[in-house]
């Protein structure tokens, strides 16, 4: 069913429906996003319907963002942190029929890209995520709640994968047999995570948890980073989440959507650019254990995303929207190949990390 924001929603945010152009916006999988443009002056807003099957307590998102915004305003005045535009009643979320809507400003002069197409973009984006983490590194994490509990808990994702294998329809299981075996062969990644997660030197930080390049606003002319966006999963987590998702999504010339896996390669210059950008901002604050896991970050995120896609395929495509029957299968296969390509280059990539760490010290 096509979802469109109705007049009541637009009016709740103080907008006159007749005076607006409304269109679909962005390429996220989870929420429904619209760009609103006022006909009279061309000013723009981003309106989102939060997916409550995924974000079971939308109020947690709003509370986490508010705490982070207050802290940043006090400690780093002038830093651009996108916060919701309240409704005419002063609320961050408009709730109607168990639908949660929120509006944020559209930052004039910004663009997003779905794929990094030069190393500078990777550097700029990584710098923005590094800066966010570094500016928030002194914040008290106790009042923060998980907007999605166990979101990047690989132990539980792995358990969900095993359960999906047990419960899958026979035809899907048969079709995916080889792919399942391949992913099971890399289960040491889940074991390493399991060991790391209780290490006191492997700390919690306030992480973004969705550091795809299209979650960074870039200047439309210079492609310099402006700020990060899509803050739904801003919550306590590990450094490997944010760093790893950048490796997963900036280093390869094609995205997880590409079924032709011959196009999957590791672009070392992009790997170096993102490491450099990230570590320039946050390198100085990392513990020894965290620094030792920088290569692992990419493995961790690619593996987790791969088994999430495969789990969804085995479960009958209940989480990620698909455009064709084997879509989640192809996405999982894509991630498996990316994981292999990354591991093949481990020595070269670790040398790059060592170089970047040295510079950031
Ligand atoms: C989802 O909504 P979107 O596309 O930004 C997912 C991420 C995955 C990503 C894969 C809440 O993000 O974890 O990395 O798809 N978000 C959620 O494209 O599950
Ligand atoms: Mg998103």
For 253-305, the pLDDT digits (tens) are 999 999 999 999 999 999 999 999 999 999 999 999 999 999 999 999 999 99
Q: Ligand 1 pocket: which of 28, 210, 250 to mutate (most atoms <8 Å of CB)?
A: 210
Closest residue to atom 18 of ligand 1, CA basis = 29
320 alpha carbon – ligand 2 mean position (Å): 12
Question: Any idea which ligand is nearest the CA of 335?
Answer: 1
pTM of full prediction above 0.90: yes
For residue 2, name the pLDDT band (cuts at 50, 70, 90): low
pLDDT above 90 for 220: yes
Q: For residue 27, which atom of ligand 1 is closest to its CA?
A: 4
List beta partners, residue 33: 48
User: pLDDT digits over 86-129, tens only?
Assistant: 999 999 999 999 999 999 999 999 999 989 999 999 999 999 99
Q: Ligand 1 pocket: which of 25, 27, 28, 30 to mutate (most atoms <8 Å of CB)?
A: 30
Q: For residue 301, which atom of ligand 1 is closest to its CA?
A: 14
For the segment 136-152, the average pLDDT, to the nearest whole number, is 98
Predicted complex: ipTM over 0.90:
yes
For residue 337, name the pLDDT band (cuts at 50, 70, 90): very high
């Amino acid at each position: 069913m096509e979802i469109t924001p109705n007049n009541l929603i637009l009016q709740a945010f103080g907008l006159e429906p007749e005076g607006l152009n409304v269109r679909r916006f962005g390429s996220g999988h989870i929420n429904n996003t619209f760009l609103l443009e006022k006909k009279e002056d061309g000013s723009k807003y981003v309106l989102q319907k939060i997916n409550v099957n995924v974000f079971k307590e939308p109020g947690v998102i709003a509370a986490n963002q508010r705490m982070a915004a207050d802290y940043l305003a006090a400690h780093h005045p002038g830093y651009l942190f996108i916060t919701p535009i309240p409704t005419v009643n002063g609320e961050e979320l408009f709730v109607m029929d168990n639908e949660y809507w929120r509006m944020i400003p559209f930052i004039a002069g910004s663009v997003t890209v779905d794929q990094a197409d030069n190393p500078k973009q990777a550097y700029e984006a990584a710098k923005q995520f590094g800066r966010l983490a570094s500016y928030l590194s002194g914040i008290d994490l106790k009042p923060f709640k998980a907007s999605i509990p166990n979101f990047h808990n690989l132990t539980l994702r792995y358990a969900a994968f095993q359960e999906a294998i047990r419960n899958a329809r026979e035809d899907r299981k048969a079709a995916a047999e080889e792919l399942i075996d391949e992913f099971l062969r890399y289960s040491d990644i889940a074991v390493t995570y399991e060991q790391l997660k209780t290490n006191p030197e492997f700390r919690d930080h306030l992480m973004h948890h969705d550091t795809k390049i299209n979650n960074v606003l870039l200047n439309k002319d210079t492609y310099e980073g402006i700020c990060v966006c899509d803050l739904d999963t801003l919550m306590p987590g590990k450094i490997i989440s944010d760093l790893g998702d950048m490796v997963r999504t900036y280093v390869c010339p094609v995205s997880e959507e590409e079924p032709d896996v011959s196009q999957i390669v590791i672009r070392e210059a992009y790997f170096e650019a993102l490491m450099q950008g990230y570590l320039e901002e946050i390198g100085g604050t990392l513990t020894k254990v965290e620094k030792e896991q920088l290569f692992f970050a990419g493995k961790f995120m690619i593996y987790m995303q791969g088994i999430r896609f495969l789990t969804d395929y085995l479960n009958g495509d209940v989480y990620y929207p698909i455009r064709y029957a084997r879509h989640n299968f192809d996405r999982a296969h894509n991630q498996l190949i990316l994981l292999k390509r990354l591991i093949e280059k481990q020595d070269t990539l670790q040398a790059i990390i060592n170089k970047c760490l040295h510079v950031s010290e």
